[in-house]
Structure 1
Amino acid sequence: MDLNRVILIGRLASDPELKYTPSGIAVTQFRLAVNRPMSSEARQNGQEKQADFISIVAWRQSAEYAANYLGKGRLVAVEGRLQVREYVTQDGQKRRDTEVVVDNLKSLDRPKEGAESTGPRYADEGAPDSYAAPRPQPAAAPPARRPAAAAPSAAPASRYQPPAEEDEFDDPFADN
């Protein structure tokens, strides 16, 4: 049995930058600073903490959540899978990048009071604390568009609308 699961807790080393693929799918990349555990002996000797900077890639709603509600210095938990991406640079060199692809992303702190803000980035009122990405589904037809919103009514719309006329249904087990 194979298992590719990564769980990290760390601080964002930079603000996530939201981009879109040509097909309109949201994607963001950022680096997560994760402190290495130190032995008590190392702490007593005055050694500085060491951190690993790990590349994180978030797609779709996770990408939008990261870009809208997270910023540099925020403490987050990332759950995902490890991926090695190979590519060729413009000068023809082959490169490999190891990154974590997000399945679940959770903010573990609130922004500091008076933190500089650009737009809704730190507007955490009403923001979800986490976002779990939907399970991947096989490629299919593009999602159906929602119909235009109707005029507001006094009563909220129900998801289930009974048929206008009740018809007898064919029940193979019913006594006739």
Structure 2
Amino acid sequence: MGARQSVIHITNKTEGYTLQNPSLHLVSGLCQIPLPTKLGPSECGSALFSKTGGTARGSVGVFTYDLYDTAADRADKKIAVLFSVPFDYGLYSNWCAVGVFDGETNSDSALYHKMYRTPERGFVRGKADGYDLTHTDFNVTIKSSMTNFSVATLKVEVHIK
């Protein structure tokens, strides 16, 4: 069946905001290259998640970053990103979702369930087809695009609206 990987590229295209304190919840798979711990304005970074060898599961999870406002010296909001690269393409497809949540939101199974299964409130979700998903909330716009391959590339950009 081949590799099931999520290569994630994150770019902070804001001025005055830092993405920090990443938190990850994996539903399946493992982390091969961890999320950057901090992305200041105009910085970018990458992470790699893969299926666990010998299992019939893919690479699936959700992560958050605190959206730290340097001028206000606080992080009232979080950005969240969901990625799903399944093992069985006969039953599932690649999906991604991005959103802005309050600062108390945890990266856990509840957030994963919300972003994968419930109606879109505070986030946008879509099948991976290479086209952009865009979500604007607070004063932040998150753009994402994901390829529909077993080694999927998910690009995430955070902008000021």
Judging by fraction of residues, say which structure has more helix. Answer: 1
Identify which of structures 1 and 2 has the higher relative contact order when contacts are C-alpha pairs closer than 8 Å and 6+ apart: 2
Judging by fraction of residues, say which structure has more strand. Answer: 2
Q: TM-score, normalised by structure 2?
A: 0.28
